[in-house]
Amino acid sequence: MIKPNTGLTCGCCGNEFYTWEGYVNQDQDKDFGICKSCQGWISDLEEQEIERSFMQIRDALSDKNKTKADKMNINQKRNIVLRALDDGILTYKIGKQQ
């Protein structure tokens, strides 16, 4: 963990920022990190991707299991999506979707 009030440059947007209590290092180069604004944007994008990927899995389920899937929280969905990626059930492609 990096000390609060440490000056860093955001590796995402390039703005200078100071760390806060509880700031977690994101394994950036020395003197770089991710600011709060970009962390929020990245988290929102990640959640959208998890939801989109989870819906692909959900659509293949029986009606009974769809009802169970609809009750899952984002962490449960993330675990299922990551397991499906690891097992090769889902694939992730960077670039234009076709």
pLDDT at 7: 94
| Mean pLDDT, contiguous 10-residue spans, the chain (98 residues) | 89 94 84 93 93 95 96 96 94 73
* Global pTM value: 0.69
Q: Give the integer Cα–Cα distance in Å for 68 and 58.
A: 10
DSSP 75: H
pLDDT at 94: 77
pLDDT at 2: 81
- Say whether 28 sits in a helix, a strand or coil: coil
Check: CB of residue 10 under 8 Å from CB of residue 36.
Answer: no
pLDDT at 58: 96
Q: Give the integer Cα–Cα distance in Å for 27 and 24.
A: 9
Token look-up 């950036």 returns: 28
**Comparing C-alpha atoms, which of 62, 54, 44, 40 is closest to residue 82?**
54
